[in-house]
Amino acid sequence: MTDAELVQQILNGNSNAFRFLVAKHQRLVLHVVGRIVQRQEDIEDICQEVFMKVYSKIGKFRGEAKLSTWIARIAYNTSISHLRKEDRDELSYDERPALVAGETDESTHRQPMETDEVKKYLMLKIEELPVQYRTVLTLFHLEEFSYREIEEITGMPEGTIKSYLSRARKILKEKLEKVAKIEKTNIFTEYA
């Protein structure tokens, strides 16, 4: 079933078609909402809000973009509005977060790390990145959207997206290297 056919079925009131759409895109919406909002207790409500907005606005979907891109844009805008409502200061973040600027990373492990722990550590560090960095990382690496699609979703210019991606990866890499130095063991060799 193409996107256009699916949209038409939903407009005709076919709840099974909508169930199919939700099942197909809930992972994407969960990742976008989750990475921006980060509070498990809020995530399900916001995901519901996203899909109800999708349903309300689906008549306006013209098929110019992919349905997934359109849904991701709604998820992004809804999550950002939620952050604004909560008045979290994340949106006015520093371009160079404190940890990058050379402050001590308190969460750095002092005990030798296992292979899985390194991955968990990195995942934790992703969650600590500024919201825009987390968003572009998620859309690019996890959801495999192109720069152009990320531009459509977030409204950020392509140059900014590339810059955020590169800086976010640099931050994470620096943290990884810092861990390796502190532990004085070559954790990287365990990967192979």
Partner 1 sequence: MLNEEKYTDADKWLVDALKSEPNFILSENFADRMAEKMSRKFAWSQYLREFAIYAGVILGVVAVLAAVHIFLAGADWKSWAKFVTENLVIVIATASLLFFVLFTDRVLLRYFLHRSKIDSI
Find the binder of partner 1 among 72, 80, 126, 153 (CB under 8 A): 126
Piece of 64-72, 76-84, 120-128, 154-162 that binds partner 1 (CB under 8 A): 120-128
Find the binder of partner 1 among 127, 148, 159, 185 (CB under 8 A): 127
User: DSSP labels for 152-179?
Assistant: HHH---HHHHHHHHHHHHHHHHHHHHHH
Q: Which is nearer to partner 1, 65 or 176 (CB)?
A: 176
- Quickly tell me which residue has 């620096």 as its tokens: 174
Q: Which is nearer to partner 1, 6 or 126 (CB)?
A: 126
- Closest distance between partner 1 and the C-beta of residue 47, in Å? 6
Q: Which is nearer to partner 1, 9 or 64 (CB)?
A: 9
Largest CA distance in the chain: 63
- Closest distance between partner 1 and the C-beta of residue 122, in Å? 4
Describe the crossing of helices 115-128 and 158-183 by its angle, rounded to 10 degrees.
Answer: 140
> Per rule CB under 8 A, is residue 122 in the interface with partner 1?
yes
> Per rule CB under 8 A, is residue 172 in the interface with partner 1?
yes
CA distance 53 to 47: 10
Contact 76, 154 (CB under 8 A): yes
> Per rule CB under 8 A, is residue 22 in the interface with partner 1?
yes
Piece of 21-29, 70-78, 86-94, 152-160 that binds partner 1 (CB under 8 A): 21-29
> Per rule CB under 8 A, is residue 184 in the interface with partner 1?
no
Q: Please, which residues have CB within 8 angstroms of residue 25's CB and are 6 or more apart in sequence?
A: 67, 68, 71
> Per rule CB under 8 A, is residue 71 in the interface with partner 1?
no
> Per rule CB under 8 A, is residue 74 in the interface with partner 1?
no
**Count of residues binding partner 1 (CB under 8 A)?**
44
> For residue 169, what are its two tokens?
């990866």
* Side chain identity, residue 163: S
Nearest by Cα to 175 from 133, 139, 147, 132: 133
- Closest distance between partner 1 and the C-beta of residue 162, in Å? 15
